[in-house]
Amino acid sequence: MAGFSGYLTCCVRNWFHGSCCAGRCIPRSGCDASNHCASGRHVTFLGACAVLSVQRGRDVTRVVRVGLPLDLADFEKRRFRLDRPEWREVLEGHAAHFLRGFNIAVRQWRDPHSALGALPVEERGFAYEGAAMHAAVRDVLTAGRAHARARLLAGPGQDYTHLIHVGCGWALVPLRVPLPVPIPPTPLLRWLALDGAGFAETYFGGLAALRRRCRAGPSLRWQSRVAGCGRALWFAESADADGVAAVIAEAPAPARPHLWSGIGLASCYAGCADESALDALRAASGPHAAHYGQGALFAIAARQRSGVVPEHTRRAAEHLFGADPTEAAGWTDEAAVGLVSSTDIAAYGEWKARLRRVAEQRC
């Protein structure tokens, strides 16, 4: 067990610092554990990493016990767009609060809510997402005995259930394990973890990682992961509508609608898009405008549930749908009727399809 835990921590540490177990494993963005692990192709890889991590005893617990440096939010280090300083600062701030949330959970994982609640209200969702990544890693390392995700979802965490589910997916990328069946309660929302995994691989792997994911074989899981890549694209392009549209136009056709779904979510949750930018994004999405609208509705619902709706989200709801955030968030609940207890990813796909129909009627 110690060797396996060491392997997991080694993978987390090396992922964030741009290496991968001294080059002994599959390239980070080219690995889809849900496809490979079931076939046993990672058995030798797991053993090699476990041995290597034991040899590096001083490093194996660094990330889970010490935390992550805030400079991981630096767009220059990420090789993202740097020519839009106003929006770069805002988006870097969101990423930094993700890291702060992770680090709070490192220190106070048994009860992180007070410290998370002391952060700026509009940034708490990002912080809970980061704390969820830590919780997911800790639960894997302890074989579930820590109940860290359950602790995070309790009390004030209930207001950030969407973000917590997304944050759990961040752990899937560096750990290279398939999506666990018992991802936190609310079966329908569990699949948001795939969105988180897609965001993580693009945020740390850049556009090359996004392009590799887009070329993978289509499936319902793939669609959700590509949407996460689209969400990260909003950060990579520093919220430039033209830049986003250009990257998506070069992607394989099957990936484009799901990338636009991610853009809708990011532009309405993270912000950095005024009314003219929202119009430009909707126009650029063309035949995929309904996917863009579905992502926007997800963002509005997540903000509304937290009880703190920023001005940019309120304006987006009114501009895109002619509704206030309460009404728009209600549509996501109505679309989920009959689906909320399902653990099948097909139900999650149906939920999004229903919201696309709503978006077509309202946009």
Token pair belonging to 9: 């921590």
pTM of the model: 0.84
pLDDT the model gives residue 101? 98
Q: pLDDT (tens digit, 9 = 90+) per residue, 203-240?
A: 999 999 999 999 998 999 999 999 999 999 999 999 99
Residue 30 has pLDDT above 70, yes or no: no
pLDDT the model gives residue 183? 57
Average pLDDT over residues 177-183: 47
150-186 per-residue burial string, b: 16 or more CB within 10 A, e: under 16: ebbbeebbebbbbbbbbbbbbbbbbbbbebbeebbeb
pLDDT the model gives residue 171? 83
pLDDT, averaged across the chain: 84
- Look at residue 74 and give its three-state secondary structure: coil
CB 160 within 8 A of CB 124: yes
